[in-house]
Chains A and B, each alone.
Chain A
């Protein structure tokens, strides 16, 4: 599948910003305000001069008026570290789901790169796979597209292990976007808490498909777990099918409720919905893009 977007769509993406609920300070200058005072262009405040401060920032007009040495402070504008964590386990192997996940990742990448944010792609399954080198600038987008195109679903999902691994490496805190179907036997709450306690602003993109939500035709079937290879003979009765749908809705609702409780952004991306609608509408509604 090609992840190339048409120009019109890319233009629309350029108007969007990735929104983080918290302000993070990156290493490079960019156009995002940071909580630190530094060498920006916009005046922020004064503070008394102390030995060692740069003379160039002394406000001489204030000294003349107040006879005190005050230092002018400016807002620091830096980039935002964005970690796009993409689930590449076998549960995502359904083409529509995986394509949707990669397209969303690509779109968010483009939005981030367009605003000079530092975007890192982190595929994960049972653990973290090889992450892409953090980069800035739109010029990197094609390399990221290629990288996303080369991803293949494999292995099981282990959110906890993957996020622990992510948290164990020294990183700048930033925006962690988890794109996954969250079908992990270990659950999602503990693992998302790991990201959150790591100081990141976490955003969840829940990828779902019709096959996830509905058990399909009635009758006796041998269900094969795509990740574990476990089989189970199930006779799907109307009652059982209804129970399945209910259980899945509960699963999705629990994830959404958890995200809401811990201030984690949540957007559900149904694979059957048009991709552009999800990016341009759902993400805006989820206050992830503006």
Chain B
């Protein structure tokens, strides 16, 4: 046992003193109130008879004495703030103590005792801190790094503990503090994490049955135009099969509301057809009897093409585009001349995306724009390049027979086959806002994107007259990619290099990386989520699943945040082994602090003593 408020010897001394004082006070004979009676004659007879009850009297006195001493000891114990003893060697070590809490989402899982793994972890952290009086202490989480300390002020750490919650985080990150003599890591081991040597691991793992939505997307249906299918994948990570109640909602309408039987450790895949009209947001919810984690019980999906994309094509000879756009599903194209655009469209009216064919306005368009071979001296496309680094092209210059050699990784050129393209001439656009996403071997930008300014833009440096673009197999792909990127941008980036990006516009709760052009992120209620800039990413700590909206220069895109992940939702496994080095945190560890129980029991005993004293059961 450790004591949070006093040193161990002080606490034991206080308990002993309390017991001794209580016993002394009990045994101390207080002068009772005096009353004059006519005679003690009758009393003597009664008391002589009462002597037969001496044993009962002794028992009464003993019980009262025990109760009194117990009350005193319990109240004294409440003052000392006792708690369960922690890993003896680690707690007893001198020097700075660092406690790291695993803030994986799986720590939100409930346990058989009703507490969550996080509750247990926090309780264990409290005990560790309580057992390290007189030492510098520091608190960190795997998501937030160092949260508090190093400090001697336990109240600061306690405040930090109260406000902390699991928030996902980077599995590779490991918080550090200088000169930490002992590092304790409290985890459930759900995520494989490389810890430093010497770290003392406390396990809050307890197998927990769980049901989770692993995948939820809305796809275009194979049969019929403008129809979608919601694809739902539900996994039962429980050792027994169970009935899972699945609900799909679109605004207030229920698209699907049925109980489904999912086998033990099985996965259920359900496709629900969705009719075209209505809100673009679809929410899926599941309920089940054995379900330890609620985070993965809800998922949202966004119907990207719920309404046809309005495209305005500006040009004089746009027949090649008309053919391509008419064949594109979900595009509603309007064709106008540059003069008509100049008369009314410039203000921003018209379609969602504007396609300029061989022409460009003098000012940047206020709508996302796709430009095919615009004049190279267009002011907002060309600028005098700086000398450092050396420019590969000058305004108005051209490159003859450029070769698009390397397939690009940008969404605009993703899947475009460059080898089928034959380009006679490509214009050079030198404005610094333009970012090449496909370039020739000599460095001339063949396809550039512009994300700064009021609206996004994609500039293709060649047109049908200077290439076989209209007939090239990669053209429909390029056109579809460009329109999709301009109209329905996917702002989410892989969090780490080499990590697979989730299906367009979705992310998991926790740290989410966005394209740098994202300036604002808000949840479904419009509450802002703070963004940080790091290198070429905008990072946000997304607190919970749901639909978020990312806004940036020239775009506004929905982001569906879903927790479904087998690694997270399978709560029946842990990367922690049965190693003796791991200290298991006992069940019920997160219950109320012992001092609360001490105080409650003491007051209960006081009440019992008072009640029995009133009835002369105790003395």
Contacts and interface: CB of A to CB of B under 8 A. Distances in A.
B50 A185 contact: no
Nearest to B29: A233
Contacts of A53: none
Is the contact region of chain B dominated by helix, strand, or loop, or is it mixed?
Answer: mixed
A54 interface: no
Given A228-B40, A238-B616, A221 B50 contact: no
B264 to A, nearest CB: 63
B42 A94 contact: no
Interface in A155-173: 157
Contacts of A226: 36-39
Contacts, number: 89
22 contacts: A91-B38, A93-B38, A97-B38, A157-B39, A181-B38, A183-B38, A183-B39, A212-B38, A212-B42, A215-B43, A219-B32, A219-B33, A221-B35, A223-B35, A226-B36, A235-B616, A239-B616, A243-B49, A243-B50, A247-B49, A248-B42, A251-B45
Count class of interface residues, chain B: 20 to 34
B525 interface: no
B38 A224 contact: no
Contacts of B31: 222
B46 to A, nearest CB: 5
Given A211-B37, A222-B34, 17 more contacts: A181-B39, A220-B32, A223-B35, A223-B40, A225-B40, A228-B40, A230-B40, A232-B43, A232-B47, A235-B619, A240-B50, A244-B42, A244-B43, A244-B46, A247-B46, A251-B41, A251-B45
Contacts of B34: 221-222, 224, 231
Nearest to B39: A183
Nearest to B618: A237
Interface in A195-238: 209, 211-212, 215-216, 218-228, 230-238
Contact of B37 (A92, A185, A225, A247): A225
Nearest to A231: B34
Contacts of A91: 38-39
Contact of B38 (A211, A218, A219): A211
Contact of A233 (B32, B41, B46): B32
Contacts of B615: 238
Contacts of A238: 615-616
A184 interface: yes
B49 A221 contact: no
A93 B37 CA distance: 10
Contacts of A93: 38
Contacts of A237: 616
B33, B38, B43, B615 — most chain A CB neighbours (10 Å): B38
A181 B42 CA distance: 12
A247 B619 CA distance: 23
Contacts of B49: 243, 247
A92 B36 CA distance: 12
Interface in B9-66: 31-43, 45-47, 49-50
B33, B35, B49 — most chain A CB neighbours (10 Å): B35
